[in-house]
């Protein structure tokens, strides 16, 4: 028996042509948007890595005590190096460059961001259980939070009161990303600019809404406490970790 193959002729209507054009346009728009999103992701990762490098450079150069070489004491003061000669005259001071209205005993290492914000690292934080070690900057701004954890509120490092520190959760190994994994009893080390290191033990951890600031209270009954603040992984709430000076 002979089989007769019949092919139907496909008629290209104007409507079909219009749909075909729309599919092509949608396809190219989708490719364009994917490229933009991918470029944004690459830039964001580059920016994070760059700021991580700045943070670690600040940490490595953080001067907790006066540097003494031979009979000369070197201090840092507002972007200037202050050299104090340890001679019979304790007031003899030599500056490597002119310094106006600065305290020669100030060991803050001032820096300036690209946008002109001046800041310094007021302490360092080390959390051995999550392999976290960073400088702590002296104030909180969106720009400074990209560089390192920052003081959010309260007492200064290792002083009586509640020293509140905020840092980004990048859901990676950077900054406070692993702070939500801390447990009660974990140690947190704070080293201030005098070189004093105090170990704090975590005693509480909980989640709050973004506008809840009760965790920043300074009512510590005369104790030294710290509060770590970061985002949940979905960035909708805040993880609060409370710790006090270990006995």
The pLDDT tens digits of the residues spanning 212-238 come to: 999 999 999 999 999 999 999 999 999
pLDDT of amino acid 69? 36
Q: Which one is predicted more confidently, 176 or 41?
A: 176
Tell me the pLDDT band of 108, cut-offs 50, 70 and 90: confident
What pLDDT score was predicted for residue 180?
97
What is the mean pLDDT of the segment spanning 139-166?
96
The answer to whether the pTM exceeds 0.85 is no
Q: What sign for the dihedral angle of Cα 33, 35, 38, 43?
A: negative
Please enumerate, as own/partner, the contacts of 46-50 that have beta carbons within 8 Å and a separation of 24 or more.
47/146, 48/146, 48/170, 48/172, 48/174
Pairing of strands 93-95, 118-119: unpaired
CB of 134 within 8 A of CB of 148?
Answer: yes
Q: How far apart are CA 114 and CA 7, in angstroms?
A: 70
User: If you average pLDDT over every residue of the chain, what do you get?
Assistant: 80
SS3 content of the chain, % helix, strand, coil (to 5): 25, 35, 40
Model confidence at 30: pLDDT above 60: yes
Q: What residues form DSSP beta bridges with 118?
A: 112
Tell me what percent of the residues of the chain surpass a pLDDT of 90.
53
Q: How many residues does the chain have?
A: 247
Say how far apart CA 245 and CA 223 lie, in whole Å.
Answer: 7
pLDDT on residue 3: 53
Beta carbons of 62 and 120 less than 8 angstroms apart = no
**How far apart are alpha carbons 203 and 110 in whole angstroms?**
34
Q: Which strands make up the sheet holding 93-95, listed edge to edge?
A: 67-69, 72-77, 80-85, 93-95
Domains of the chain: 38-63+119-245 (2.40.260.10), 66-106 (no CATH)
Task: With a cut of 50, say whether residue 68 has pLDDT above it.
Answer: no
- Rounded distance, CA 131 to CA 189, Å? 12
Q: Is the pLDDT of residue 140 over 60?
A: yes
**Which residues lie below 8 Å from residue 192, measured CB to CB, with a gap of 6+?**
64, 122, 123, 156, 157, 158
For residue 145, what pLDDT is reported? 95
Above 60 in pLDDT, residue 109?
yes
Token pair recorded at residue 131: 């392999």
**Backbone phi, then psi, for 129, in 5-degree steps?**
-65, -25
What's the angle, vertex CA 105, arms to CA 100 and CA 107, rounded to 5?
A: 95
pLDDT at position 41 is 56
Candidate from 31-45, 83-97, 225-239 with smallest mean pLDDT: 83-97
Element (H, E) at 243: strand 238-245
pLDDT value of residue 46: 62
Among 144, 164, 168, 148, CA closest to 156: 164
Q: What is the mean pLDDT of residues 44-67?
A: 73
| For residue 5, pLDDT beyond 70 | no
So what's the pLDDT on residue 166? 98
* 199 CB-contact burial (10 Å; exposed 0-12 / middle 13-18 / buried 19+): middle
């Amino acid at each position: 028996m002979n089989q007769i193959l019949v092919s139907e002729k496909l008629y290209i209507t104007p409507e079909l042509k219009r749909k075909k054009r729309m599919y092509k346009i949608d396809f190219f728009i989708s490719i364009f948007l994917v490229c933009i999103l991918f470029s944004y992701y690459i830039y964001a990762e580059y920016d994070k890595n760059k700021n991580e490098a700045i943070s670690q450079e600040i940490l490595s150069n953080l001067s907790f005590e006066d540097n003494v070489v031979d009979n000369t004491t070197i201090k840092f003061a507002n972007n200037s190096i202050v050299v104090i000669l340890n001679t019979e005259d304790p007031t003899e001071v030599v500056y490597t460059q002119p310094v106006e209205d600065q305290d020669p005993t100030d060991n803050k290492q001032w820096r300036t961001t690209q946008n002109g914000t001046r800041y310094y690292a007021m302490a360092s934080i080390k959390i051995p259980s999550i392999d976290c070690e960073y400088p702590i900057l002296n104030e909180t701004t969106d720009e400074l939070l990209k560089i390192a954890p920052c003081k959010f509120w309260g007492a200064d490092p290792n002083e009586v009161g509640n020293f509140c520190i905020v840092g980004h959760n990048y859901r990676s190994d950077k900054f406070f990303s692993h702070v939500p994994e801390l447990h009660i009893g974990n140690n947190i080390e704070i080293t201030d600019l005098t070189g004093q290191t105090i170990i704090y033990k975590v005693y509480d951890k909980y989640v709050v809404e973004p506008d809840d600031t009760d965790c920043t209270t300074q009512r510590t009954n005369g104790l030294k406490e710290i509060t770590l603040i970061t985002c949940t992984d979905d960035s909708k709430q805040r993880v609060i970790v409370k710790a006090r000076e270990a006995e």
